[in-house]
Amino acid sequence: MLGLNKADLRLYLIVLGMLIFAPFIMNPFPEGSGLAQFNGGYPDLLQKLVIFGIFAVGFNILFGLTGYLSFGHAAFLGVGSYAGVWMMKLLTMNVVPALIISVLTAGLLSVIIGYVSLRRSGIYFSILTLAFAQMCYSLAYSVLTPITGGETGLTLSLNDPRVLGTSQTAEGNIPVPHFFGLEMNASSTLELGAWSFTFNTGYYFCAVVMAVAFYFAIRLFRSPFGLMLRAVKSNQARMSYTGLNARPYTLAAFVISGMYAGLAGGLMVAMDPLAGAERMIWTASGEVVLMAILGGVGTLIGPILGAGVIKYLESIISTINSTILHQWFAFLPDGLEDFVVAIIYPFVGKGWHLTLGIVFMLVVIFLPGGIVEGGKRIGNLFRRKRREETPPSSTTTPAPKPGE
Instruction: Please check whether residue 191 lies inside any domain of the structure.
Output: yes
Instruction: Please check whether residue 24 lies inside any domain of the structure.
Output: no
Q: Are residues 222 and 78 in the same domain?
A: yes
Q: Are residues 282 and 327 in the same domain?
A: no
Instruction: Please check whether residue 236 lies inside any domain of the structure.
Output: yes
Q: Say if strands 178-179 and 195-200 run parallel, antiparallel, or are unpaired.
A: unpaired
- Reduce the secondary structure of 262-326 to three states and give it as a string: HHHHHHHHHHCCEECHHHHCHHHHHHHHHHHHHHCCCCCCHHHHHHHHHHHHHHHHHHCCHHHHH
pLDDT tens column, 148-192: 988 888 999 888 888 888 888 888 888 999 999 899 999 999 988
pLDDT beyond 90 at 256: yes
Q: Which amino acid is at 63?
A: F
- The pTM for the full model equals 0.91
Q: Are residues 279 and 375 in the same domain?
A: no
Rounded to 5 degrees, what are φ and ψ at 24?
-80, -45
Instruction: Please check whether residue 396 lies inside any domain of the structure.
Output: no
Q: Are residues 185 and 54 in the same domain?
A: yes
Q: Are residues 251 and 195 in the same domain?
A: yes
Q: Which residues constitute the domain of residue 55?
A: 40-297
Instruction: Please check whether residue 219 lies inside any domain of the structure.
Output: yes
Q: Nearest-CA neighbor of 80 among 258, 271, 265, 276?
A: 265
Instruction: Please check whether residue 361 lies inside any domain of the structure.
Output: yes
Q: Are residues 102 and 232 in the same domain?
A: yes
Q: Are residues 356 and 271 in the same domain?
A: no
Q: Are residues 227 and 142 in the same domain?
A: yes
pLDDT tens column, 97-143: 999 999 999 999 999 999 999 999 889 999 999 999 999 999 999 88
Q: Say how far apart CA 390 and CA 137 lie, in whole Å.
A: 60
